[in-house]
Structure 1
Amino acid sequence: MFVYALSGIIMVYRNSDFLKTEVITEEKLAPNLKERQLKPIFKKGAEVVKREGDVIYLKNGTYNKETGVAIMKKMELPFILDKMEHLHKANTNSPLYFLNIFFGASLLFFVFSAFWVYTPKMPVFKKGMYFTAGGIVLTLILLFI
């Protein structure tokens, strides 16, 4: 639960540079590539900022048309946090996706089994129902705002 909680909190900041460090890589590409050919390589940062001679400056790097050398800047989480985030975002293409399904089913079991911990005659059960109703209302508010 700690891994999922921490990676979930970190994923809230995935559009920012929170906890990320800049990683610079240099790659030899074919010379004289067009801007549209650079988009899949530079991805989100493929927007041209300026040009100086044979060098094209992009949002997240540079490309030299004559030599074909591309220098790319990317912001990455530390290794462990990156692995935790990828585990959190796993899909059916991931080799261990069944662990995510098992974990989700286990959490659902914990949620619903809590209703059978106390008998309905106990005062704490009534108080728990108020908290449950409040949680449902809060969830609906968060979903529709």
Structure 2
Amino acid sequence: MSKNKKVPYYVRIIHRYLGFFLAGIMSVYALSGVVLIFRSTDFLKYDQSVERKIKPDLENEKIGKALRIRDFEVTKTEGNLIYFKQGVYNMQTGVANYTKKDLAPALKKLNQLHKSTTNTPLYWLNIFFGFSLLFFSLSAFWMYLPKAKIFRKGLYFAFGGIALTIILLFIQ
């Protein structure tokens, strides 16, 4: 470190270029976050026909679990055929034909950004992104001198953001 340049100088440089880099990541996360909000609806989903063989002669509750269908409900039974909202299950053969709604493959990949765990390679991106955002938000305070009026206003806004987040967490 040169004698003339102090820590705030280098923090500003890192903040600047990290900000440009994070703008790309944040754009992708923003899109995937909006899509994820609608995960419980059929928005942006398409019908996909599925034929699956499971155990024959299953009870109604076990059919839904085997097919991984939430809110599984039998609508009628005719002989060996069990009809449900999404399709039909043949008790004799164990074959189920049904339709499921799914996101397009590209949108499905986007959603994996938010749902990643330590079992997926994306979790390193999430860890990097989280710590980068933390640095980014804290380093913003090195943009101005602590005695400056705008610095104090910035602190008020930061505390306001923290307070709003905490209030919204407890309201829901």
TM-score clears 0.5:
yes
Native 8 Å contact 1:56 1:65 kept in 2:
yes
Pairing 1:27–2:22 present: no
Conserved 8 A contact 2:54-2:66: no
Q: CA deviation at 1:72?
A: 2.3
Query: What's 2:170 paired with?
Result: 144
2:118 to 88, 92, 102: 92
Aligned residues, how many? 145
Residue 3 (structure 1) aligned with residue 28 (structure 2): yes
Deviation beyond 6 Å, 4+ runs, structure 1: none
> 1:15-45: CA deviations, max 9, x gaps?
1111111111112334333324313222214
Matches within 5 A, 1:1-145: 1-43=26-68, 44-145=70-171
TM-score in terms of structure 1 length: 0.88
Unpaired stretches in structure 1, ≥5 consecutive residues = none
For the aligned residues, what is the CA RMSD? 1.8
- In structure 2, the CA distance between the partners of 1:136 and 1:31, relative to structure 1 (3 Å rule), is closer
Q: Which has the higher contact order (CA 8 A, sep 6+)?
A: 2
Instruction: List alignment gaps of at least 5 residues for structure 2.
Output: 1-25
Structure number with greater Rg is 2
- Give CA-to-partner distance per residue, 1:67-126, whole Å, 9 cap, x none: 332112211111111001012210011133222111111111101111111112223212
Residue type at the aligned position of 1:112: L
